[in-house]
Amino acid sequence: MVEVWDLLLDVGAAFRSFDEKLAAVRAKLPGWTVSGAWVLRGTRRNRSLVAELAPLFAARFPGDGRALLSALDRTTSALPPGAALLWTDAAATALAPWRAASRAHRGAPRP
Protein backbone atom coordinates (compact mmCIF):
# COMPACT_ATOMS: atom_id res chain seq x y z
CA MET A 1 0.00 0.00 0.00
CA VAL A 2 1.40 3.40 -0.93
CA GLU A 3 0.24 6.65 0.61
CA VAL A 4 1.23 9.98 -0.92
CA TRP A 5 1.49 13.08 1.26
CA ASP A 6 1.82 16.62 -0.02
CA LEU A 7 1.83 18.18 3.44
CA LEU A 8 2.13 16.53 6.83
CA LEU A 9 0.27 18.50 9.47
CA ASP A 10 -0.32 15.88 12.19
CA VAL A 11 2.29 13.13 12.01
CA GLY A 12 0.67 11.09 14.78
CA ALA A 13 -2.72 11.08 13.06
CA ALA A 14 -1.06 10.22 9.73
CA PHE A 15 0.77 7.27 11.32
CA ARG A 16 -2.42 6.00 12.98
CA SER A 17 -4.39 6.30 9.74
CA PHE A 18 -1.65 4.43 7.84
CA ASP A 19 -1.64 1.67 10.46
CA GLU A 20 -5.44 1.33 10.24
CA LYS A 21 -5.33 1.08 6.44
CA LEU A 22 -2.57 -1.55 6.57
CA ALA A 23 -4.57 -3.52 9.14
CA ALA A 24 -7.66 -3.38 6.91
CA VAL A 25 -5.69 -4.66 3.90
CA ARG A 26 -4.11 -7.43 6.01
CA ALA A 27 -7.57 -8.47 7.24
CA LYS A 28 -8.80 -8.76 3.64
CA LEU A 29 -5.72 -10.70 2.52
CA PRO A 30 -4.99 -13.26 5.24
CA GLY A 31 -1.78 -15.16 4.65
CA TRP A 32 -0.35 -12.41 2.44
CA THR A 33 2.61 -10.27 3.42
CA VAL A 34 1.38 -6.69 3.36
CA SER A 35 3.60 -3.67 3.75
CA GLY A 36 3.43 -0.06 2.81
CA ALA A 37 5.26 3.06 1.85
CA TRP A 38 4.89 6.76 2.16
CA VAL A 39 5.79 9.12 -0.63
CA LEU A 40 6.37 12.62 0.72
CA ARG A 41 6.56 15.70 -1.43
CA GLY A 42 10.04 17.14 -0.92
CA THR A 43 9.00 20.55 0.31
CA ARG A 44 11.10 22.51 2.77
CA ARG A 45 8.49 21.98 5.47
CA ASN A 46 8.27 18.21 4.95
CA ARG A 47 12.06 17.83 4.76
CA SER A 48 12.45 19.85 7.95
CA LEU A 49 9.78 17.84 9.76
CA VAL A 50 11.32 14.50 8.78
CA ALA A 51 14.80 15.71 9.76
CA GLU A 52 13.48 16.91 13.13
CA LEU A 53 11.72 13.59 13.77
CA ALA A 54 14.29 11.37 12.00
CA PRO A 55 14.49 8.68 14.72
CA LEU A 56 10.70 8.36 14.72
CA PHE A 57 10.55 8.09 10.92
CA ALA A 58 13.45 5.60 10.92
CA ALA A 59 11.52 3.40 13.35
CA ARG A 60 8.28 3.66 11.36
CA PHE A 61 9.91 3.20 7.94
CA PRO A 62 12.76 0.70 8.30
CA GLY A 63 12.35 -0.63 4.75
CA ASP A 64 14.89 -0.08 2.00
CA GLY A 65 13.63 2.69 -0.26
CA ARG A 66 16.16 1.85 -2.98
CA ALA A 67 14.95 -1.75 -3.06
CA LEU A 68 11.35 -0.55 -3.22
CA LEU A 69 12.12 1.73 -6.15
CA SER A 70 13.89 -1.15 -7.87
CA ALA A 71 10.84 -3.37 -7.36
CA LEU A 72 8.49 -0.68 -8.62
CA ASP A 73 10.72 -0.21 -11.65
CA ARG A 74 10.60 -4.01 -12.10
CA THR A 75 14.37 -4.26 -11.90
CA THR A 76 13.70 -6.89 -9.26
CA SER A 77 10.57 -8.95 -8.75
CA ALA A 78 10.32 -9.01 -4.97
CA LEU A 79 9.07 -6.20 -2.79
CA PRO A 80 11.40 -5.56 0.14
CA PRO A 81 10.17 -6.21 3.69
CA GLY A 82 9.20 -3.32 5.92
CA ALA A 83 7.53 -0.02 5.24
CA ALA A 84 9.66 2.46 3.29
CA LEU A 85 9.73 6.21 2.90
CA LEU A 86 10.26 7.83 -0.47
CA TRP A 87 10.54 11.45 -1.51
CA THR A 88 9.18 13.08 -4.60
CA ASP A 89 10.55 16.37 -5.80
CA ALA A 90 8.34 19.43 -5.30
CA ALA A 91 7.01 19.10 -8.86
CA ALA A 92 6.17 15.40 -8.24
CA THR A 93 8.21 14.28 -11.26
CA ALA A 94 10.88 12.09 -9.62
CA LEU A 95 11.16 9.63 -6.74
CA ALA A 96 14.13 9.15 -4.43
CA PRO A 97 14.64 6.93 -1.38
CA TRP A 98 14.79 8.51 2.05
CA ARG A 99 18.17 8.16 3.65
CA ALA A 100 17.48 7.51 7.30
CA ALA A 101 18.36 9.26 10.51
CA SER A 102 21.19 11.79 10.41
CA ARG A 103 21.11 12.14 6.63
CA ALA A 104 17.32 12.43 6.28
CA HIS A 105 17.39 15.95 4.88
CA ARG A 106 19.80 14.93 2.10
CA GLY A 107 17.48 12.16 0.90
CA ALA A 108 14.92 14.57 -0.47
CA PRO A 109 15.16 16.07 -3.91
CA ARG A 110 15.25 19.85 -3.70
CA PRO A 111 12.07 21.72 -4.71
- For residue range 40-81, list pLDDT tens digits in order: 999 999 999 999 999 999 999 999 999 888 888 877 767 788
> What are the CA-CA distances from residue 89 to residues 36, 49, 75, 98 (Å)?
20, 16, 22, 12
- Judge residue 109's burial from the number of C-beta atoms within 10 Å of its C-beta, 0-12 exposed, 13-18 middle, 19 or more buried: middle
**pLDDT the model gives residue 102:** 42
Q: Which domain holds residue 83?
A: 2-107
User: What global pTM score does this model have?
Assistant: 0.81
**pLDDT the model gives residue 11:** 94
Q: Which helix (H) or strand (E) holds 3?
A: strand 2-5
**pLDDT the model gives residue 79:** 79
Domains held by the chain: number: 1
